[in-house]
Chain A
């Protein structure tokens, strides 16, 4: 996981405010490098945990194979719907959805384009790339 804010300390998470806006980008259906099955479990865990924490990112952007997560049959669909209801904007790359022929299968969030995605990232105070 990479973040612009490189200085992190273990402390009570409730005592800190997230830099605003905070954007999370997800470019795969698996978290990290190594065992792919484990990576898929970790990503599911991560997104479910976001639904449970008081702090939320403002936006989650899905790229490349990450767009499969917003489509029918995704194991994280219910968590993404919850995050959307909690006020998190869910954006998916339209080019990527077209590439995987998944545009008709999108079930959560909005289909976006590179302009909106680039603007959202440039205006963010904190971008977390998974």
Chain B
């Protein structure tokens, strides 16, 4: 059985930040998926950005440079 995929989740302040962040990551060549905030992280309605764990450091730098307000960073397995 394949090991579970390892992801990093970036919580952002709004849907607009998520869309902007997604664009910045795409421009930087970092695969990213915009998803609802997992229930394990919050019971509130929200949107976040999911990248492969291996892209965590690079994605953090890209989002910071793009002035995306990140409210939290979490490592998860699928």
Binding site for B on A (CB under 8 A): 37-38, 41-42, 44-45, 48-49, 75, 78
Contact = CB atoms under 8 A, between A and B. Distances in A.
A125 B33 CA distance: 33
B27 to A, nearest CB: 15
Contacts, number: 23
Q: Place the interface of chain B in its size category.
A: under 10
B3 to A, nearest CB: 19
Q: Which of A45, A75, A78 has the most chain B CB atoms inside 10 A of its CB?
A: A45
B19 A37 contact: yes
B34 interface: yes
A38 B16 CA distance: 7
B66 interface: no
